[in-house]
Chains A and B, each alone.
Chain A
Amino acid sequence: QKEVEQNSGPLSVPEGAIASLNCTYSDRGSQSFFWYRQYSGKSPELIMFIYSNGDKEDGRFTAQLNKASQYVSLLIRDSQPSDSATYLCAASWGKLQFGAGTQVVVTP
């Protein structure tokens, strides 16, 4: 069992809609969680991090954390074609563990 699980997708989202990405993690000791975006052929770039239960908003992005259920999610509002990428979830408990990523395709 992977320590950080994500649906591989692809997740197809119409332009302007909300993309919802989910991630579960196995270690209850995880303290912090990160979302990265990776365009094809490029390196991952950090979008958001979240430490506390609840929601954290940054522009069109909202990260949600529920430690009791061991899941973290990312919402992308008003999805744009430029949001088409693979989104990596990462959880930290001593070292950072990455999920395999969810591919998002925003269709015009």
Chain B
Amino acid sequence: EADIYQTPRYLVIGTGKKITLECSQTMGHDKMYWYQQDPGMELHLIHYSYGVNSTEKGDLSSESTVSRIRTEHFPLTLESARPSHTSQYLCASSGDSWTGVGEQFFGPGTRLTVL
């Protein structure tokens, strides 16, 4: 079944740790995205990729980095986590449509808490 997966779903870690949030999709999409969302607040795009070896920063400045070595995999890394990184991180993917950008499908999210 075509889907988009994120692991871990919940993560509680201490300040200064390096973390990687995993995102994989079996939908065959070229485009993938990372959003950050605090409770009750709007989505903020932090990274996106339109294909292998292509990554761009989004609208919200983030200390995280991403990589896109395989089409189906788009991990996000924080080299040194801080309490300000506490948030929900959502991964999404989209295919192409005649308008150029198709609808985005979201993973279940990772809720990160940095102590």
Contacts and interface: CB of A to CB of B under 8 A. Distances in A.
Nearest to A31: B99
Interface residues of B, number: 21
Interface string B43-60: 101001000000000000
Interface in A18-67: 31-32, 34, 40-46, 49, 51
A76 interface: no
B91 to A, nearest CB: 9
A88 interface: yes
Nearest to B4: A43
Interface in B65-109: 90, 94, 97, 99-109
Contacts, number: 49
A88 B44 CA distance: 13
Chain A interface mostly helix, strand, loop or mixed?
A: loop
B42 A98 contact: yes
Contacts of B107: 43
Contacts of B102: 32
A95 B101 contact: yes
Residue from A34, A40, A44 with most neighbouring chain B CB atoms (10 Å): A44
A88 B99 contact: no
A32 B101 contact: yes
Contact of A32 (B40, B41, B97, B106): B97
Contacts of A80: none
23 contacts: A31-B100, A32-B103, A40-B40, A42-B108, A42-B109, A43-B90, A43-B107, A43-B108, A44-B90, A44-B106, A46-B103, A46-B105, A51-B99, A90-B104, A94-B100, A95-B45, A95-B48, A95-B101, A96-B101, A96-B103, A98-B45, A99-B42, A100-B42
Interface of B: 39-43, 45, 48, 90, 94, 97, 99-109
- Sorted nearest first, the 9 A-B pairs with minimum C-beta distance are A31-B99, A100-B42, A43-B106, A32-B99, A92-B101, A43-B109, A98-B43, A44-B106, A46-B103
